[in-house]
Structure 1
Amino acid sequence: MNKQPTLAFIGAGNMARAIIGGLIDNGYPAEQIWATEPTTAKLTDLAIQGVKTSDNNSEAVASADIVVLSVKPQILKSVCDEIVDAVQTQQPLIVSIAAGIMSPTIDHWLGTSNAIVRCMPNTPALVQTGASGLYANTFVSDEQRQQAEEILAAIGIALWVDEESQLDAVTAVSGSGPAYYFLMMESMIEAGKKLGLSEEVATQLTLQTALGAAKMASSSDVDPGELRRRVTSPNGTTEQAIKRFIDGGLPELVDTALKACNDRSVELAKELGQ
């Protein structure tokens, strides 16, 4: 990052730790980062790295240029109630990774007219291969957009959406997406075992194949559909499997599944914002 603003992570769970770790690995000065938890004993490892730690959320916010709200959605309101005065005094950029809570709701809880970026990361962020969708409200400056993007880029890719409602689609595609691939891996491992492979061999082959396919797709100059066609020889073995997937309705099933995820994300936003 060109500038090194002071960051305050309110809540230091797995995702916050992943972002902090990614930032430090990329050269961000640990002394410019605060992390808070009700019990500071949970922050010992971060303190050893040079991160400033506290059990006082307002203390951290009072020193911050950027506040990352990384607590569970169910307690976000109470956290906002606690830090609202410090936020109104400091006027930091607010970055929320709390799923489901809309930016107008966060803005209301924090006293209105706050620069807020909502983001939806996913669990591969824990190994710095995450995919995050970001949305900025109208109070966020161009510089703050860049700062938010660079923070999330420490754990993978960070892509902007134009409408906050599109974060529900981000949830359906990438937020929940890792679980879809895990299910596919489970199914392939079980099928491999039924075909006579040991569990260890079936597992290693499945996981390495998933890794290889993802690397090929992400580095290729053609889309996944074309890659599939290139490895599907007419009347060959791959074609037989692909035909079974298509005849079984896999494309339609994926569409239905992602829509169900999107719709539930919309419902949760309404429930959590009450």
Structure 2
Amino acid sequence: MLSKNKLKYIQSLARKKNREAEKVFLVEGDKMVAEALQSGLQVKLLCATSRFSAGHPGLSASAMETIEVTDDELRKLSLLQSPQNALAVVAMPVVPFSQKELENKLSLALDFIQDPGNMGTIIRLADWFGIEHLLCSTTTVDCYNPKVIQASMGAIFRVKIHYVDLPQTLAELQQQGLPTYGAFLEGENIYNKALAPQGILVMGNEGNGISKDVERVISDKIHIPSFATNGSGSESLNVSMATGICLSEFRRRKS
């Protein structure tokens, strides 16, 4: 049975300060909760209807604590407009950051990304394109924001996310021989630019792009050209769309 204290505790995790204090985050939806239970992360609490348990036999044993809830109880817990059959409280993974792990790989860096939907989509793109490490400025939106988790569609369980002093980290990586590619409106056409198979691709804020501090440590500026005729196209691309296009071009060159 769901107690009032458990209800209050779970509801409190909608706020960042409470998530950080407890070192946990919320996962909702049957597919994502099932992934969480199989991810190797510690699922501290599973709240699920009998339908979820019947559809995923034995899976709930992976959780430290399981509470069977009714549809009404799940609606009280959920942050979604249309909750499904399960919600989980998952421990934040401890992900040590070692610059050595980025050698000979393409990694992604985010400078002041603010929209949770963009952040979640970019994590999903990183997972799709085989990006293991995502470097985030300290001003970038919390990757455990519930909207980020939902938009990541389970990729949050596989991509290693690090919040770092981005200008300093990029400068140190460049000293180690890793090129830093930044997306700019005045950059070189990405389809004509020589791209190394390893390095850091930096994407900037939705409205202002890459900050001046980060720009100073960018070795190569790139740009996605518009193919609209007569100058009638959009002024710019959504940052998650632009990230997908850039990652696709990097991976196309590698293959």
TM over 0.5: no
Determine which structure has more spread, i.e. the larger CA radius of gyration: 1
Which has the larger helix fraction? Answer: 1
Higher relative contact order (CA 8 A, sep 6+): 2
TM-score (norm 2): 0.29
Q: Which has the higher strand share?
A: 2
